[in-house]
Amino acid sequence: YTRGTVTAFSPFDARADAEALRKAMKGMGTDEETVLKILTTRNNAQRQEIASAFKTLFGRDLVDDLKSELTGKFETLMVSLMRPAYIFDAHALKHAIKGAGTNEKVLTEILASRTPAEVQNIKKVYLQEYEANLEDKITGETSGHFQRLLVVLLQANRDPDMGVDEGLVEQDAQVLFRAGELKWGTDEEKFITILGTRSISHLRRVFDKYMTISGFQIEETIDRETSGDLEKLLLAVVKCIRSVPAYFAETLYHSMKGAGTDDETLIRVMVSRSEVDLLDIRQEFRKNFAKSLYQMIQKDTSGDYRKALLLLCGGDDE
C-alpha cells in the first residue's frame, strides 16, 4: 500500500524504453520531452530495468548519458530519479556531510522523517556504497545536543506501536513539562530520549496530555526552550510524529515561498516521496496553504524542469 503519484507503468517494455531514450539523446540535440515522459512515469524498479537494458543494448551507461546530454536542474532531477530509494537517501546524506560546512537541513529532514526500517537500510547502503559508517561520519561533523538526537535517531530503535499505556503517557508529559517550562534552563536530554525513542502512537497521546498539563503545544515549548539546529530537529521530529505528509507539505511550501526557490529541497522531496505518500502530501498542502502543490510548482519553476516536476506531482487539487 502506498500513496505515491508514481506507480508501476503498464504495459512496460524496458527494451523499448531504452531504445526510445537512446534515440532521444543520440546525435545533435536532445529530445528532452521523451526523456522526461519516460523517467517520470515509470517507477524506480522499472527505471533500473531500463538502465540495465540500455547497457545491454548499447554498451552505455544511462546515467552517464543523461549527465552529458542534460543540464542544470533538469539534469539533477532526471539523475535523481535514476537512484534507488536508499541509495538516493545515502547519497543526499553523504553530500550533506562532505567538505566544508555541514548541511544540517538535509540531516534533519531525512533522519526525522524516515521509519526505523528505512534508517537501518540507509545505514547498510551507506556502508556498501561509501565503505564508511554513517554514524561515525555524522558524529564527526556535528556536536552537542543536535548530534545526540541524530545519534538516537540513527539507532532506529523507536518503540513499536503496541497500544498505549496511559500511565506512561502522563509520566512522559510531566517529565517534558518539568524539563522545559518548569525549569530554569532546559534539560534537553529528556526531550531527546522521549522524542527519539517512544512509539508514534504513544507520543501523539503525550502531545495531547502535554497540552492539557501545560496549556502549550509541545512545539511552542521547543521553540522557547531550545534554539539553532537542535530546535529545528526537535520540531521536525514532532511534526513527523504528528504527520509525515504534513511535514513534507510544509517543507515543499518553504522551498518555493518568497524570492528564489530552494531547488535542492524541492527535487529531494519530490523524488523521495513520489512513490511513498505524495498524494497525501498534496492533500495536506492544499489544506494548509490554500493553494495546490501543482500550482505552486507551475508558478515557481520553468521549462523541462517544470514539466517533469508537474508530471511527478501527478495532478492539480483545485
Please give the grid coordinates belonging to residue 136: 561515525
Same domain, 118 and 72: no
Residue 250 maps to a domain: yes
> What pLDDT is recorded for position 205?
98
Same domain, 171 and 234: yes
Give the Cα separation of 40 and 136 in Å (integer). Answer: 35
Collect all residues with Cβ–Cβ distance below 8 Å to 72 and sequence separation of at least 6: 305
pLDDT tens digit sequence for 201-240: 999 999 999 999 999 999 999 999 999 999 999 999 999 9
pLDDT tens digit sequence for 149-207: 999 999 999 999 999 999 999 999 999 999 998 888 789 999 999 999 999 999 999 99
Give the Cα separation of 58 and 48 in Å (integer). Answer: 15
pLDDT tens digit sequence for 82-117: 999 999 999 999 999 987 788 999 999 999 999 999
Beta carbons within 10 angstroms of residue 108's beta carbon: 24
Same domain, 127 and 180: no
Residue 49 maps to a domain: yes
Same domain, 236 and 250: no
Answer left, alpha or beta for residue 201, where phi above 0 means left and psi between -120 and 50 means alpha.
Answer: alpha
Domain-ending residue, one of 85, 115, 135: 85
Give the Cα separation of 285 and 293 in Å (integer). Answer: 6
Same domain, 141 and 97: yes
Spatial contact of 294 and 275, defined as CB atoms under 8 Å apart: no
Which domain range does residue 41 map to? 14-85
Residue 118 maps to a domain: yes
Same domain, 139 and 94: yes
Same domain, 249 and 301: yes
pLDDT tens digit sequence for 248-304: 999 999 999 988 899 999 999 999 999 999 999 999 999 999 999 999 999 999 999
Same domain, 137 and 121: yes
State the CATH number of the domain containing residue 105. Answer: 1.10.220.10
Please give the grid coordinates belonging to residue 180: 522545559
Domain-ending residue, one of 110, 128, 155: 155
Domain-ending residue, one of 136, 155, 174: 155
Residue 200 maps to a domain: yes
Same domain, 223 and 202: yes
Between CA 45 and CA 46, with CA 116 as vertex, the angle to 5 degrees is: 5
Same domain, 228 and 287: no
Residue 53 maps to a domain: yes
Give the Cα separation of 62 and 14 in Å (integer). Answer: 13
Same domain, 238 and 249: no
Task: Kindly tell me the burial class for residue 218, based on how many C-beta atoms sit within 10 Å of its own C-beta (0-12, 13-18, 19 or more).
Answer: buried
Backbone phi and psi for residue 92, each to the nearest 5 degrees, phi listed first: -65, -40
Spatial contact of 174 and 216, defined as CB atoms under 8 Å apart: no
Give the Cα separation of 38 and 69 in Å (integer). Answer: 16
Residue 26 has pLDDT above 90, yes or no: yes
Residue 151 maps to a domain: yes
pLDDT tens digit sequence for 117-133: 999 999 999 999 999 99
Residue 182 maps to a domain: yes
pLDDT tens digit sequence for 56-86: 999 999 999 999 999 999 999 999 999 999 9
Q: How many domains does the chain have?
A: 4
Question: DSSP for the chain?
Answer: ----S----SS--HHHHHHHHHHHHSSSS--HHHHHHHHHHS-HHHHHHHHHHHHHHHS--HHHHHHHH--HHHHHHHHHHTS-HHHHHHHHHHHHSSSSS--HHHHHHHHHHS-HHHHHHHHHHHHHHHSS-HHHHHHHH--HHHHHHHHHHHHT-PPP-----HHHHHHHHHHHHHHTTTSSS--HHHHHHHHHHS-HHHHHHHHHHHHHHHSS-HHHHHHHH--HHHHHHHHHHHHHHH-HHHHHHHHHHHHHSSSS--HHHHHHHHHHHTTTTHHHHHHHHHHHHSS-HHHHHHHH--HHHHHHHHHHHT----
- For cell 498534496, the residue is 282
pLDDT over 90, % of the chain: 93
Please give the grid coordinates belonging to residue 197: 525513542
Higher pLDDT, 260 or 148: 148
pLDDT band for 1, please (50, 70, 90 cuts).
low
What is the rounded average pLDDT of the residues 36-46? 98
Between CA 280 and CA 136, with CA 194 as vertex, the angle to 5 degrees is: 85
This prediction's pTM = 0.96
Same domain, 69 and 95: no
Residue 31 maps to a domain: yes
